[in-house]
Amino acid sequence: MRTNIELDDRLVREAMDLTGETTKRGVVALALDELVQRRQRRSLSELFGKVQFAEGYDYKALRTGER
């Protein structure tokens, strides 16, 4: 999707230096991707301690292929 936005030149340059991206488009795409991934991980971490497993469920056995 195309859009026009004003970006802080200092932040864009710093982001490009940190990431090695050579274009504004590349650094914005990377920033959006990292933002989405971070928020998704945070959503998963909020489930910690709230998931109830079935009695007898052995996740370790599933990792080794045993059942």
> What angle is formed at CA 27 by the lines to CA 15 and CA 17, rounded to 5 degrees?
30
- Please state the domain extents for the chain: 9-64
- The yes-or-no verdict on residue 67 having pLDDT over 70 is no
Q: Count CB atoms within 10 A of the CB of residue 27.
A: 22
Q: What is the pLDDT of residue 23?
A: 97
Rounded CA-CA distance 50/31 in Å is: 30
Give Cα 3 distance to the centre of its chain. 23
The 10s digit of each residue's pLDDT in 10-58 is: 999 999 999 999 999 999 999 999 999 988 887 777 777 787 778 888 8
Q: What is the pLDDT of residue 66?
A: 57
- Spatial neighbors of 18 by CB under 8 A, at least 6 apart, are none
